[in-house]
Structure 1
Amino acid sequence: MDFFELLKAVFFGIIQGITEWLPISSTGHMILADEFMQLKEVTPGFINTFLVVIQFGSILAVIVMFFHKLNPFSPKKSLVQKKETFSLWGKVLVAVVPAAIIGFLFEDQIHEWLYNPTVIAIALIVYGVLFIVLELNKKKARVENFSQLTYQMALFIGVFQVLALIPGTSRSGATILGAIILGTSRYVAAEFSFFLAIPTMLGASGYELLKSGLSYTGSEWAVMIVGTVVSFVVSVFAIKFLMNFIKKHDFKAFGYYRIVLGIAVLLYFAFH
């Protein structure tokens, strides 16, 4: 395995770990990164699998960081707290359903029609504008904790997650945006987005591995493992950063970043 190929895997892991949790589109950034930093010693089609499987590291970071909060069997929790944790998982599973159905039914069409720089750039700009508009029209949150989050609201947040099937949208961005529109606090919106990612991305990673038949070369396994480990480490810091950031700031900065990046992408591919 070429050292530079492993170095590329490290960079992909860094990009995945940062962009998965910030509302700026991990898929969009990863596709763009592949445009400039293509893996060479891999079989055709491997990059599509790699970009999905590398997300496992990010998910593992959420599980480790929020293990107590997500564990309904923790001996440190009271009976009421255990019931609330089971309820939280129920809401997460309800919210997963819309994107799981649409993604499964239209996977090929989504990749064929939407995975291109123009769509990514437009999605980056559109949702950047939406974040800014949302923050300029702030409303008092009606849901300050998960016990106030209803199953109906969870389902509607899941409908917003369907939008993330469009590359450049951002899964965390779509769910956070939807949750805030529905009346949750930024903190609840961000955490629910994290938890919603667990079954969504574990399912996607597992499905992609099974679909490929696990028939990878030694070099490809090395690239996947390195990228996944790096994405785990970087995700830990990215999650901590976001949760601290939203205690003092809103999401307008991410909106401006998306708009600038989207315009840059449009200009780059217009002239190249």
Structure 2
Amino acid sequence: MHNTFIAIIQGIVEGLTEFLPVSSTGHLILSGQLLGFTGDKADTFEIIIQLGAILAVAIIYWRRILGLLGLKTVETGEAVQSGQPKLNLLHVILACLPAMVLGLALHSVIKTYLFSPYTVLAGLVLGGGFMLLGQKKQTAVQAATIDQLSYKQAVSIGLFQCLSLWPGFSRSGATIAGGLLSGASYSAATNFSFLIAIPMMIAASGFELLKSIHTLNASDAGFFLTGFIVAFVVAFLAVITFLKLLERLKLAPFAYYRFVLAAVFLVYLLSQ
């Protein structure tokens, strides 16, 4: 019963935070500390439930994904600026490559030195500050829709995504704020952020799963499945809700939430 409770709680945390600009990794590390759920099994569980979140966003964007793969024509009805190609697979590759290469090169360093509660709290604060910067310094919109993004903007967003290699910084926070600084609208930046999350998370989760496959046990199948399903359902609802609210809420409320969360957990950690 205790394992089921942990699976549900961590599944909810993953589903709510994976695609919101608040850092799912940071939240899972902090909630794992509270639940006493740490170690190799916890690390593997986090990978499994991330796959549930990936499936949710892949279903939401299935038409766009098939279009990028040349398997379906995507009729968006969106005007494309002269001289700029409609969103294609090269945009996605250019945006994913920097973080994939840097993440692979620094993997052992990140795992060794940056996955502690205190470094996560630092990431929450720094990421929140960057989100406020992106909102305040947003440049003139050059891409109102995802199909108006240029290759240069894709590269720029990809470079900003490298900031999220610091646990707690938030991949979606870095890419959405980076998109605003690159001349994308909130809608374009958010949709592109969610879209490039799919290959990024598949690559990262696949790599980590191969390294931790020895920790998988048939007796844990129900535990992992529960977390996977909960993360899928919650992530699906969270993404749909966030897409509707972002234009009105902007990034500031999520940044302030990160500051409060960091302060609360700092007090908790210091009291232990």
| Alpha-carbon distance in structure 1 between the residues aligned to 2:155 and 2:199 | 15
Of 31, 36, 39 in structure 2, the residue corresponding to residue 38 of structure 1 is 36
Tell me what 1:183 maps to.
Answer: 183
Q: Distance in 1 between matches of 2:138 and 2:73?
A: 40
Partner of 1:230: 230
The code of the aligned residue for 2:9 comes to F
Query: How many residues of Structure 1 are paired with residues of Structure 2 in the alignment?
Result: 264
Q: Note the aligned Cα RMSD (angstroms).
A: 2.3
Is the Cα–Cα contact under 8 Å of residues 5 and 39 in structure 1 kept in the other structure?
no
- For normalisation by structure 2, the TM-score amounts to 0.89
- Contact map agreement 1:53 1:208 (CA 8 A) in 2: no
Q: Is the 8 A contact 1:70 1:85 kept in 2?
A: no
Counterpart of 1:19 (choices 17, 20, 23) is 17
Determine the structure 2 residue equivalent to 1:135: 135
1:58 pairs with 2:50: no
Question: What residue ranges of structure 1 are gaps of 5+ in the alignment?
Answer: none
Assess if the C-alpha contact under 8 Å between 1:142 and 1:183 holds in 2: yes
Quote the offset at 1:88 in angstroms: 2.7
Deviation of 1:179 (Å)? 0.7
Task: Work out whether residues 69 and 85 of structure 1, in 8 Å CA contact, stay in contact via their aligned partners in 2.
Answer: no
Kept after mapping to 1: 8 A contact 2:20/2:172: yes
In structure 2, the CA distance between the partners of 1:76 and 1:26, relative to structure 1 (3 Å rule), is closer
**Deviation for aligned residue 1:125:** 1.5
TM-score between both structures, scaled by the size of structure 1: 0.89
Alignment partners' CA distance in 2, 1:138 and 1:180 = 5
Percent identity over the alignment is 33
**What do residues 103-141 of structure 1 show as CA deviations (whole Å, max 9, x unaligned)?**
112211101111111111122112223323433445432
CA distances 1:69-110 after superposition (whole Å, capped 9, x unpaired): 2222226759x99xx998432211221111111111221110
Q: Residue 239 of structure 1 corresponds to which residue in structure 2?
A: 239
Q: Is the 2:85–2:148 Cα contact (8 Å) retained in structure 1?
A: no
Specify the SS of the correspondent of 2:169: coil
Equivalent pair of 1:143/1:184 in contact (CA under 8 Å): yes
Q: How far does residue 208 in structure 1 lie from its aligned partner after superposition? A: 1.9
* SS of equivalent to 2:88: helix
Q: Which runs of 4+ in 1 moved over 6 A?
A: none
**Which residue does the alignment assign to 2:161?**
161
Query: Greater relative contact order: 1 or 2 (C-alpha under 8 angstroms, separation 6 or more)?
Result: 1
Deviations 1:143-166, CA, capped at 9 Å, x for gaps: 112332112221121111111111
- For the residue of structure 2 that corresponds to 1:31, the secondary structure is helix
Post-superposition CA distance 1:178-201 (Å, at most 9, x none): 111111001111111111111111
Query: Structure 1 CA distance, aligned partners of 2:133 and 2:205?
Result: 34
5+ unaligned residues in a row in structure 2: which ranges?
Answer: none
- Is the Cα–Cα contact under 8 Å of residues 13 and 227 in structure 1 kept in the other structure? yes
SS at match of 2:257: helix
Report the 3-state secondary structure (helix = DSSP H, G, I; strand = E; otherwise coil) of the residue aligned with 1:54: helix
Q: Deviations over 1:231-271 (max 9, x none)?
A: 11001110111111113221111111011111112222122
Contact 2:64 2:74 in 1 (8 A): no
Deviation at residue 226 of structure 1 after TM alignment: 1.4
Which range is displaced more, 210-219 or 253-262? 210-219
Question: Residue 12 of structure 1 contacts residue 33 of structure 1 at CA under 8 Å; is this kept in 2?
Answer: yes
- Contact 1:19–1:29, Cα closer than 8 Å, also in 2: yes
Q: How far does the alpha carbon of each residue in 1:22-70 deviate from its partner, in whole angstroms, 9 at most, with x for none?
A: 1000000000011011348xxx512222212311111111111111122
